Amino acid sequence: MLQDNQAKGTSAGLSDGWTEPRATALLVLQDGTVLEGFGIGAIGEATGEVCFNTAMTGYQEILTDPSYAGQIITFTFPHIGNVGTNDEDVESVNAAAASGVRGAILSAAITDPSSWRASRHLDAWLKARGIVGLTGIDTRALTVLIRDKGMPNAVIAHDPNGAFDVEALKTRAAALPSMDGQDLVPMVTSSQRYGWDEITWKRGEGFAKQDAPQHHVVAIDYGVKRNILRLLARAGCKVTVVPANASAEEVLALKPDGVFLSNGPGDPAATGEYAVPVIRKVLEEKIPTFGICLGHQMLGLAVGGTTKKMHQGHHGANHPVKDKTTGKVEITSMNHGFAVDPESLPATAVETHVSLFDGSNCGISLTDRPAFSVQYHPEASPGPQDSHYLFDRFVKLIEENKAKARA
């Protein structure tokens, strides 16, 4: 139940003799609001910015998306966990990214998994990954609160005994810093360079390998998702992943046919302090460049644009976006709390995609360099596959660039 109260750690006796279950988890918002629920996942406390995600499927991919680092996710769909978890739907590449998501908020209790692919109950999976969660609150009311007031900072706490120092939790929540100015990429990026050749999953076959790549793409890892790398490989690319702090010289030394700028968490302006100079050098060399999510914001910053914090962000798998180059509307998967300000972009950066929810910028293409980017997640994990064509568009850009070099 969503209410402004304090959990005393004691049961409330009712007149008919029935005893109300003791709350074993709390969500304490920065304004002092306390939400009582029942704990799942790891025992302990965690802090983060509370957002809501409207996707009806793909909760495991959402919980392992490195772009959610520093956030507590509220699932608006009530039945989360009913298909369990498995080892194949994890989106984070490295172990460090496992600590990105701070917490999970569910409406209904987790049921036993019902899927032939399930290998572990969601509760056990959350415990293993150190993610604190709670169930039993009105997630619709919390979503309305976020919609009206913006994404609040909060402390999420789980104690099986229901013993909470509520005043201390309130003080801690009130003191949490804003997401503005936070560079969270170091939490989730890889620590060293590695190659990637795995392509997308097929039933009965699993993940195959790319054994005949035609192009070499260097992916700068700001918190990259596995399915992005799989789709790059499926499109015919040999993929080399480099850490977010790789220098321009290190990237160029790999002689890439194309450079990919990945998704990631935090304030793009903070990450841009070290990422933008690298991207500008890549653009100067006129190497085909493709960015997704934080990578889109990095490209916008690299050409002189600015980014801004969004009121509630975009998180879900049902966001309509118009491709202004074709006139088509695609349903997309999104996860971002910052956006590129289209008014700040130079004339050489043309807006290619726009959100049909709020008109925010969702894509740009450069007229003087072979580069483009989108704010949403065309790899569709989770989400619809309307936007897979963008990976083919990137490869076409690489092929055109190669043909121009041969001419």
Q: Give the pLDDT band (50/70/90) at residue 406.
A: confident
* Residues noted as catalytic: 293, 377, 379
The 3-state secondary structure of 208-249 reads: EECCCCCEEEEEEECCCEHHHHHHHHHCCEEEEEEECCCCHH
CATH number for the domain that contains residue 109? 3.50.30.20
Residues 189, 170, single domain; the answer is: no
Residues 229, 357, single domain; the answer is: yes
DSSP class of residue 19 equals B
List the structure tokens of 244: 């977010």
Residues 60, 200, single domain; the answer is: no
Q: Is the peptide bond before 382 cis (omega within 30 degrees of 0)?
A: yes
The answer to whether residue 106 sits within a structural domain is yes
Residues 329, 372, single domain; the answer is: yes
In tens, the pLDDT along 9-21 reads 333 323 344 455 7
- Residue-wise DSSP of 352-385: EEEETTT--EEEEEESSSSEEEESSBTT-SSS--
Last residue of a domain, one of 174, 197, 230: 174
Residues 313, 201, single domain; the answer is: yes
Mean pLDDT over 351-377 rounds to 98
The answer to whether residue 56 sits within a structural domain is yes
- Cα distance between residue 96 and residue 223, in whole Å: 10
List the structure tokens of 239: 């993929």
CATH number for the domain that contains residue 354? 3.40.50.880
Last residue of a domain, one of 149, 174, 199: 174
Predicted confidence at residue 14, as pLDDT, reads 30
**Residues of the chain above pLDDT 70, percent:** 94
**pLDDT reading at 41 higher than 90:** yes
For the chain, the average pLDDT equals: 93
The answer to whether residue 12 sits within a structural domain is no
Predicted confidence at residue 18, as pLDDT, reads 45
Residues 189, 168, single domain; the answer is: no
Mean pLDDT over 218-224 rounds to 97
| Weakest-pLDDT range from 20-24, 52-56, 156-160, 218-222 | 20-24
In tens, the pLDDT along 124-176 reads 999 999 999 999 999 999 999 999 999 999 999 999 999 999 999 999 999 99
Residues 201, 281, single domain; the answer is: yes
The 3-state secondary structure of 314-355 reads: EEEEEEEEEECCCCEEEEEEEEEEEEECHHHCCCCEEEEEEE
**pLDDT reading at 8 higher than 80:** no
Residues 234, 278, single domain; the answer is: yes
Compute CA distances 193 → 190, 223, 224, 228, 240, whole Å.
7, 13, 13, 17, 7
Last residue of a domain, one of 121, 146, 174: 174
Structural domain that includes position 189: 185-406
The answer to whether residue 252 sits within a structural domain is yes
- Please state the domain count of the chain: 2
Predicted confidence at residue 98, as pLDDT, reads 54
**pLDDT reading at 7 higher than 60:** no
The answer to whether residue 4 sits within a structural domain is no
In tens, the pLDDT along 60-79 reads 999 999 999 999 999 999 99
Residues 134, 230, single domain; the answer is: no
Q: Give the pLDDT band (50/70/90) at residue 265.
A: very high
The answer to whether residue 209 sits within a structural domain is yes
The answer to whether residue 19 sits within a structural domain is no
Taking residue 308's Cβ as centre, other Cβ atoms within 10 Å add up to 13
Predicted confidence at residue 202, as pLDDT, reads 80
Q: Give the pLDDT band (50/70/90) at residue 248.
A: very high
- Cα distance between residue 354 and residue 339, in whole Å: 11
- Say which residue the tokens 């790319």 belong to: 210
Are the C-beta atoms of 300 and 338 separated by less than 8 Å?
A: no
Residues 368, 223, single domain; the answer is: yes
The answer to whether residue 336 sits within a structural domain is yes
Residues 193, 157, single domain; the answer is: no
Residues 152, 212, single domain; the answer is: no
